[in-house]
């Protein structure tokens, strides 16, 4: 699935199953909540925190997909073409960071 296809699929789902988009502020809050759930799993799986019984069966991929879904909702609501935005962002990073990481002693 391309990014554009994902945006179209989410829009179709929202306008049928979801009935309508939540407003942008609500979706921003939901995005933060979903990112927090990813952070919770990461801190337990890769960090020093231990899993609670209720956390043991969580699916990191599913939680990341929740983040992506809400991000796509926000992009659709605000008229952002994520394919174009990603392409521009990669160009910006490529120019800005052309030598930055190569010259970073911490990465060697």
**Structural domains of the chain sorted by starting position, each given as residue range(s) with its CATH number in brackets:** 3-80 (1.10.287.1080)
Contacts 24+ apart (CB under 8 A), 37-42: 37/63, 37/66, 38/63, 38/64, 38/67
The tens digit of pLDDT for each residue in 18-63 reads 999 999 999 999 999 999 999 999 999 999 988 888 777 899 999 9
Rounded mean pLDDT of the chain?
Answer: 94
Q: Which has the closest alpha carbon to 23: 86, 74, 72, 75? A: 74
Can you give the pTM of this predicted structure?
A: 0.89
Beta strands in the chain (DSSP E): none
């Amino acid at each position: 699935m391309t990014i554009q296809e994902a945006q179209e699929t989410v829009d179709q789902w929202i306008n049928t199953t979801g009935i309508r988009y939540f407003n942008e502020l609500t979706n921003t809050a939901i995005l933060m909540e979903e990112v927090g759930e990813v952070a919770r799993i990461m801190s337990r799986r890769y960090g020093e925190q231990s899993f609670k019984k209720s956390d043991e069966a969580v699916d990191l991929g599913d939680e990341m997909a929740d983040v992506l879904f809400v991000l796509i909702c926000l992009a659709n609501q605000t008229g952002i073409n994520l394919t174009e935005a990603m392409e521009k962002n990669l160009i910006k990073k490529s120019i800005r960071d052309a030598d930055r990481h190569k010259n970073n002693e911490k990465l060697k």
